[in-house]
Amino acid sequence: MAALACIAMALAISACSAAAPEAMMSASGPSGFAAERFPKPQRPVAGIVSDQWASEDSRERAGEASRVIDLLGIRPGVTVADIGAGAGYYVSRLAHQVGPEGRVIAEDIERRTLDRLGRRVSRERLGNVSLVLGAPHDPRLAPRSVDLALLVHMYHEVAQPYGLLANLVPAMRPGGRVAILDVDGPVLSHGTPRALLSCELAAVGYREVAWHWVEGRSIYLAVFEFPAEPPEPEHIVPCGVR
């Protein structure tokens, strides 16, 4: 009987662990503008080859996350959305930074990636993290839920940047910011040239408020204010067509 009880307990623990990612999945916000309403970007789109840009050890040695968190002045109590959260390098560090009164929303478009991230969140006991399954053109975040949206080494992989940027606006709280970390290099080499980034965000009404070089003159952190009202999708003029 004791052996059977132990087996039953083990199965129960296993079932809870398997369900953990689903339990942490937040209800998505309302759908935004449909993807087909937006113009296609007049530039290539890099393929998604991994759920992380580089090993966490190498990023920690370079002090990447601490540098970005410091530059953005992220303080306890705020809500940060990690758009394209991947393996969770920033999710883990942001969760500790914002503290129990803050919130980290880990968004990704791949359910398998979110499942793996959910197991990490459970393992690290990050009770202030929730998961959201978005779409390539729509992060599906709840209205007025985000103080800071952070896009790390993934903007070049966004197939519909105008849609993503426009559909992100309703999720932002007054005074909120959007920050993009990327390499100042060709898109197909997994970077976004500075001029291209500035042009695409301006096309949706975003205004650049800060620019920082994080690593030499290669990796940058660009910070933007979101528009009060983005233009109608059909009125957006894609960069390269002007």
Write the pLDDT tens digit of every residue in 172-226: 999 999 999 999 999 999 999 999 999 999 999 999 999 999 988 889 999 999 9
Q: What is the pLDDT of residue 6?
A: 42
Q: Is the pLDDT of residue 81 over 60?
A: yes
Contact 171, 141 (CB under 8 A): yes
Of 100-109, 223-232, 233-242, the range with the lowest mean pLDDT is: 233-242
Q: Is the pLDDT of residue 142 over 90?
A: yes
Q: What is the pLDDT of residue 47?
A: 81
Q: Is the pLDDT of residue 147 over 80?
A: yes
pLDDT by residue (tens digit) across 17-58?
Answer: 444 455 467 767 899 999 999 999 999 999 866 545 556 666
Mean pLDDT of 143-165: 97
Q: Is the pLDDT of residue 106 over 50?
A: yes
Q: Write out the two tokens for 224.
A: 């933007």
Q: Is the pLDDT of residue 138 over 70?
A: yes
The rounded mean pLDDT for the chain is: 87
Q: Is the pLDDT of residue 158 over 90?
A: yes
CA R_g for the chain: 19
